[in-house]
Amino acid sequence: MLGLTVSHYRVIGKLGTGGMGIVYEAEDLRLPRKVALKFLPEQLADDADAVRRFDREAATIALLSHPNICTIYDVDTHEGRQFIAMERLDGVTLKAVMAREDLEFGQLLGITRQITAALGAAHAKGIVHRDIKPGNVMVGDDGHVKVLDFGLARQFRLPGSNQTGLEGSTIPGRPLGTANYMAPERILQLPLDPRSDLFSLGVIVYEMATGRLPFAGASPSDTVTNVLDREPEPLTTLAPDRPLALEHVVVRLLAKRAAERYQSAEHLAEALARIEVPPSTLATRLLRRLRPAR
């Protein structure tokens, strides 16, 4: 693909490969900007279910416009293969950020608030992401967060709305997604609920705060059992330097029953707004900035 012109985009590099797509960096030949082109892998070109999910991702992102959600520019085909042209994001995934450093509380809180804002925008349009995890969150060098990969997203019926959901499929007995970040109702394949995204966010916050996943087991089946039946070790037990107020938020996010969680991203945002960055964290950040470079 390198060097090829696809529609009005010239491919200049490869950004990454995942189970549901290959992403290339390209130059827009009409506008002065770089873009990311996501192609469905060749081996899935004849997979009707994979094609539907790919189409659904494009249709879903097209409904959304928010500073914390990756923007889509175009959908087209090249030699029979569909691709999505979207904004080229600078930065690394949250998964990579957590692998290389322990997050200061101010960073953790800022990332959480931005993911919450993105989820609020999606839910307001009747969209459940269904695959919120660190690998689907990009963090820029300036700390700006973008949520991406809406390939598993589905629409739910908003109260008082006559809209219908996006076409999709469900494989009986095998919910699509990553078990470590799935809400109990997702594992049980119950009706769509935006509060399941908030559960997934709770897992991310716990992981950012402690460096550990709250429900990870020795096997996928153990993880599923933990999500359904067991409570995680208290956050402040593993990370005593984290504020108790954060633990209270996470406990509510990780409630087994959706009715016991925050009922919307807006309610979660209000709770996060009441959490202040401890002075010690601010002082540590200031000292790091003043410390001479080696």
Which residues are the active-site residues? 141
The two beta strands, 81-87 and 72-78, are: antiparallel
CA distance 86 to 190: 32
Helix or strand or coil: residue 193?
coil
Token digits for 24?
């290339």
Q: Which residues contact 223 (CB under 8 A, 6 or more apart)?
A: 179, 180, 215, 216, 217
Token digits for 88?
């080229």
Q: Would you list the DSSP string of 175-225?
A: -SS-GGG--HHHHTTPSP-THHHHHHHHHHHHHHHHSS-SS--SSHHHHHH
The two beta strands, 34-39 and 21-28, are: antiparallel
Q: Is residue 185 within 8 Å of 174, Cβ to Cβ?
A: no
CA distance 188 to 293: 52
Token digits for 226?
């933990």
